[in-house]
C-alpha cells in the first residue's frame, strides 16, 4: 500500500479514519505543520496539491522562505523516510 503522496517536491503521509470516514494527510520532511483531508482519494489528492500551494503562498505573504524537503545527502548516509520507507518500516518492526 502506497500511503505517500508527492507534489512539487513535497511529500505527505496519508491515513484513513474509519470512525470519521475521511482520508487525512500531513506534509512530511518540513518543519511547519501542514495538514489536509478529503472524503475520497481523488479529493484527498486535490486537497494535498491545494495545501502545498497554500503553504507556498502563505510563506510568500509573511516573508518566510518555505521549508524544502530534507534531502538524502548527508555524511552519515541516512536517507529521508519517504525515500527509504521500506527499510524504515522493517527497522521499526525489528525493534519492537
CATH number of the domain residue 9 falls in: 3.30.160
Average of pLDDT values for 58-79? 73
Q: Please indicate, yes or no, whether the overall pTM of this predicted structure exceeds 0.75.
A: no
Q: Classify residue 82: in a domain, yes or no.
A: no
Instruction: Give the model's pLDDT for residue 69.
Output: 80
Residue 84, pLDDT > 70, answer no
- The tally of domains found in the chain comes to 1
Q: Classify residue 90: in a domain, yes or no.
A: no
Q: Classify residue 77: in a domain, yes or no.
A: no
Q: Classify residue 52: in a domain, yes or no.
A: yes
Q: Classify residue 42: in a domain, yes or no.
A: yes
Q: Classify residue 35: in a domain, yes or no.
A: yes
| DSSP line for 43-85 | HHHHHHHHHHHHHHHHHHHHTPPPPPPPPS--TT----TTTSH
Residue 88, pLDDT > 80, answer no
Instruction: Give the model's pLDDT for residue 83.
Output: 44
pLDDT tens digits, one per residue of 2-29: 789 999 999 999 999 999 999 999 999 9
Q: Classify residue 87: in a domain, yes or no.
A: no
Amino acid at each position: 500500500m502506497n500511503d505517500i503522496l508527492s507534489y512539487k517536491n513535497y511529500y505527505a503521509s496519508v491515513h484513513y479514519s474509519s470512525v470519521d470516514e475521511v482520508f487525512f494527510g500531513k506534509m512530511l520532511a518540513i518543519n511547519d505543520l501542514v495538514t489536509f483531508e478529503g472524503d475520497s482519494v481523488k479529493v484527498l489528492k486535490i486537497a494535498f496539491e491545494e495545501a502545498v500551494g497554500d503553504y507556498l503562498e502563505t510563506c510568500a505573504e509573511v516573508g518566510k522562505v518555505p521549508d524544502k524537503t530534507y534531502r538524502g545527502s548527508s555524511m552519515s548516509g541516512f536517507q529521508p523516510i519517504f525515500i527509504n520507507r521500506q527499510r524504515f518500516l522493517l527497522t521499526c518492526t525489528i525493534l519492537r
